[in-house]
Structure 1
């Protein structure tokens, strides 16, 4: 694919994906860069949900772009360009895991956690305002804990959870990407949420006893005030 440099990224950044794809077909470097930046995070998360390794996920994302931009003529526009990229990334990631080990038996995983209770949406904390260093450390620790909890999910639950709850794809889109029935997507998402909730509760439950502390000097001051009130009452 010949890449031209006649348009920079800033000039094409306001275009929609369809326009960018057409420009990319003509080798416009700015359009290619814009499409890459628009899809980087989603593709990395999808790949990371499969391989659970940052470096390999990044390599998968790179391979996805190379395959996509060298085969743009095969993209017919039947789906969103981002959807097409996700499919390529998933195929690459899943192909790598299959070459490393036998394919996971989905039936065994689907038999896990059949209890229908629980399964509400897991709300991931978001931070948009500037934070101080101590808050930044807390945010980093929360993120690392949540990433570990996602990594610990069974593979097929993990992929569904990433697409549905983190990338906010619809049930139908997720089912199409993974060649599953929508009902299967719903079931796996429900079980993934239950496993995430269990992991979060296990981590946090030891700290519940320390909530709303009323001890130390604060406790002493309360005793002082009560004793003083009692003395005043007795003096009347």
Structure 2
């Protein structure tokens, strides 16, 4: 009976390990409820914690405002051509309950706006960078050219889904990180922002005692009951 119990336990542990290895949403927000207030960000968090306040800043570290035209967009009221580059930091702490988080990708919808906060009807040059820092150490840096150059062609769509490949980037449980988004571009004037941020990855193990997930515990208990019943018969 002891041998069978050990086998059942090992099978459950293997199943739990396989399930935890699947990529999942680590962090996400559709910025619903923002409406010009960068201190009212709502997040979906899994194995991480982030601040509810996002403080967009110019390169001179002056705090910037958001357009209040929309209830579900992070749209910065700062012309990236006429006034300059802006950035915003997402302050993130990996849970101490996991040993590490292997990141997979980050996707986001990037947009350009006119100076009155409306979506642009003409294409404007716009690039968005993502940097990930652990203290002073840079773990990742990449730039996507969302829109290249300026034109007045009709039919321009001012929002584009972009992505960053984060494979190879690992967060350590209990450590603090900064995800920095930087918006810039050349040419005609416009403002920029983003929406629908999704960070994907896989949380690994536990820095504490590895307690089986509820589903795994149910399987283990069922196995024990069946083994006991069989022994009684």
TM-score interval, smaller chain = under 0.3
Higher relative contact order (CA 8 A, sep 6+): 2
Larger Rg: 1
Q: Which has the higher strand share?
A: 2
Q: TM-score, normalised by structure 2?
A: 0.19
Q: TM-score, normalised by structure 1?
A: 0.19
